């Protein structure tokens, strides 16, 4: 790709990356219009432009794929409550990408984390599609999926919204007996879904999952001291007011996209194993920024501790599980170790070197090895050699 083409692509994606649902951010938009001259404001873009940006990202993938908007209706069947209590009866859609795969391959459904989209897995699709029928989605409210008004008012409502929208998507795709992989917040959603609908899940893969411990269980001395300071008081107030990172970026006006690009370049170029993101890939990652962030304060308390931690449900686990963590993941794998003590199903924890919270980008080959190993019972014996863990990738 030429430099000029890459620059044009980055501009399109920069505009698409910070789109916000008009109704859910109406107050923010009104404030921004008052505060910024027109030349210094975000101009909300359409979902179609975000999908186009994601397609440009997927142009880096060699494998063939089919992209579709899967209709999940206007709300859960039989419910008077629409998604996010939206007043609209129009149907909602989940942006879905299905990759070409060998015949009779097990199905692997991939769910992204907070503020991301399926495009974050762009370095993994080719390798995983050689062994699985890979299906990646944008969760409702993020990426190229529909963005209903967010008016949930509790942890229970918010969890149900993510779980139920995924279940409606599953039914629309007529899927069952599949492997479910979730990263970070997507891991939290995947685990909660598996607890409610274990009959559809063949195996669960949780990559740096969020939400295993509560603040009281973690006993963070640093957080307690920080909260006692004026800075901590302000930060906690902003969190409880649902002041999200995306709102900060939007508030920076035209400088926001460049800040995002600088961050992704610095963050994902920090591991020097020969797999550093090139400039084009770093720019394209801004396509995965989304605006379904208003769930944050209902799922987590300040410090990213779960309000309804998964650890408390470990004894109810009904699906075999593989945990995958980068060595430098800020999500502590010890939460998974504690949960394993209470689980009554097979469970293993794999750690991958040269990787942080985005281990599938930092060290894709190590991540792929961990996934193949975790799913060895479901893969063809023709690839048994690929299921052996390389040096440095360890089971703990």
Per-residue buried b or exposed e for 75-102, using 16+ beta carbons within 10 Å of the residue's own CB: bbeeeeebbbbbeeeeebbbbbbbbebe
Identify the burial level of 186 via C-beta atoms within 10 angstroms of its C-beta, where 0-12 means exposed, 13-18 middle and 19 or more buried: buried
Whether 75 is covered by a domain: the verdict is: yes
85 three-state secondary structure = helix
pLDDT of the residue at 24: 33
Domain tally, the chain:
1
158 has a pLDDT exceeding 80: yes
Whether 12 is covered by a domain: the verdict is: no
How many alpha carbons lie under 13 Å from residue 378 in its C-beta half-sphere? Answer: 22
Lowest-pLDDT range, 7-16, 136-145, 169-178, 261-270? Answer: 7-16
Q: What is the mean pLDDT of residues 251-280?
A: 52
Whether 269 is covered by a domain: the verdict is: yes
- pLDDT, tens only, 184-217: 999 999 999 999 999 999 999 999 999 887 555 5
Whether 327 is covered by a domain: the verdict is: yes
* Alpha carbons 157 and 222: distance in angstroms, whole number: 31
Q: Is the pLDDT higher at 117 or at 304? A: 117
* Alpha carbons 21 and 146: distance in angstroms, whole number: 9
Whether 60 is covered by a domain: the verdict is: yes
Model's pTM, two decimal places? 0.78
* Alpha carbons 207 and 389: distance in angstroms, whole number: 17
137 three-state secondary structure = strand
Q: Is the pLDDT higher at 277 or at 310? A: 310
41 has a pLDDT exceeding 50: no
Torsion, CA 30, CA 53, CA 105, CA 361, rounded to 10:
-90
pLDDT of the residue at 151: 75
CATH code of residue 173:
3.40.50.1820
Q: Is the pLDDT higher at 297 or at 281? A: 297
Q: What is the mean pLDDT of residues 225-249?
A: 62
Whether 91 is covered by a domain: the verdict is: yes
pLDDT of the residue at 366: 95
* Alpha carbons 112 and 136: distance in angstroms, whole number: 8
Owning domain of residue 349 = 42-395
Lowest-pLDDT range, 91-95, 104-108, 138-142, 149-153? Answer: 149-153
Whether 30 is covered by a domain: the verdict is: no
Whether 7 is covered by a domain: the verdict is: no
* Alpha carbons 211 and 28: distance in angstroms, whole number: 28
């Amino acid at each position: 790709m030429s430099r000029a083409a890459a620059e044009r692509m980055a501009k399109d994606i920069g505009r698409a990356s910070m789109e916000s649902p008009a109704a859910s951010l109406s107050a923010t938009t009104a404030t921004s219009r008052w505060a910024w001259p027109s030349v210094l404001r975000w101009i909300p873009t359409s979902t179609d432009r975000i999908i186009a940006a994601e397609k440009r990202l997927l142009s880096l993938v060699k494998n063939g794929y089919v992209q579709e908007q899967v209709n999940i209706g206007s709300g859960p069947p039989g419910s008077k409550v629409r998604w996010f209590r939206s007043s609209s009866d129009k149907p909602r859609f989940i942006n879905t990408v299905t990759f070409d795969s060998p015949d009779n391959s097990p199905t692997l459904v991939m769910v992204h984390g907070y503020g991301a989209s399926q495009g974050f897995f762009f370095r993994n699709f080719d390798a995983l599609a050689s062994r699985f029928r890979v299906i990646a989605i944008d969760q409702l409210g993020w990426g190229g999926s529909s963005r209903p008004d967010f008016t949930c008012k509790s942890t229970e409502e918010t969890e149900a919204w993510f779980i139920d929208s995924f279940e409606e998507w599953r039914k629309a795709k007529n899927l069952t007996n599949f492997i479910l992989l979730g990263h970070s917040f997507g891991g939290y959603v995947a685990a909660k879904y598996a607890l409610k609908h274990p009959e559809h899940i063949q195996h669960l893969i949780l990559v740096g999952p969020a939400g295993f411990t509560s603040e009281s269980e973690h006993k963070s001395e640093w957080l307690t001291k920080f909260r006692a300071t004026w800075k901590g008081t302000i930060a906690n107030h902003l969190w409880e007011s649902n002041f999200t990172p995306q709102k900060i970026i939007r508030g920076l006006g035209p400088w926001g996209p460049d800040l995002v690009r600088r961050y992704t370049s610095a963050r994902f170029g920090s591991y020097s194993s020969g797999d550093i993101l090139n400039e084009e890939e770093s720019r394209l990652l801004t396509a995965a920024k989304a605006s379904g962030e208003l769930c944050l304060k209902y799922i987590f308390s300040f410090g990213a501790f779960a309000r309804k931690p998964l650890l408390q449900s470990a004894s109810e686990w009904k699906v075999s599980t593989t945990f995958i963590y980068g060595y430098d993941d800020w999500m502590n794998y010890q939460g998974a170790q504690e949960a394993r003590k209470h689980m009554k199903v097979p469970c293993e924890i794999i750690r991958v070197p040269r990787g942080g919270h985005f281990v599938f980008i930092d060290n894709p080959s190590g991540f792929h090895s961990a996934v193949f190993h975790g799913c060895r019972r479901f893969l063809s014996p023709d690839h048994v050699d690929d299921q052996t863990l390389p040096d440095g990738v360890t089971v703990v």
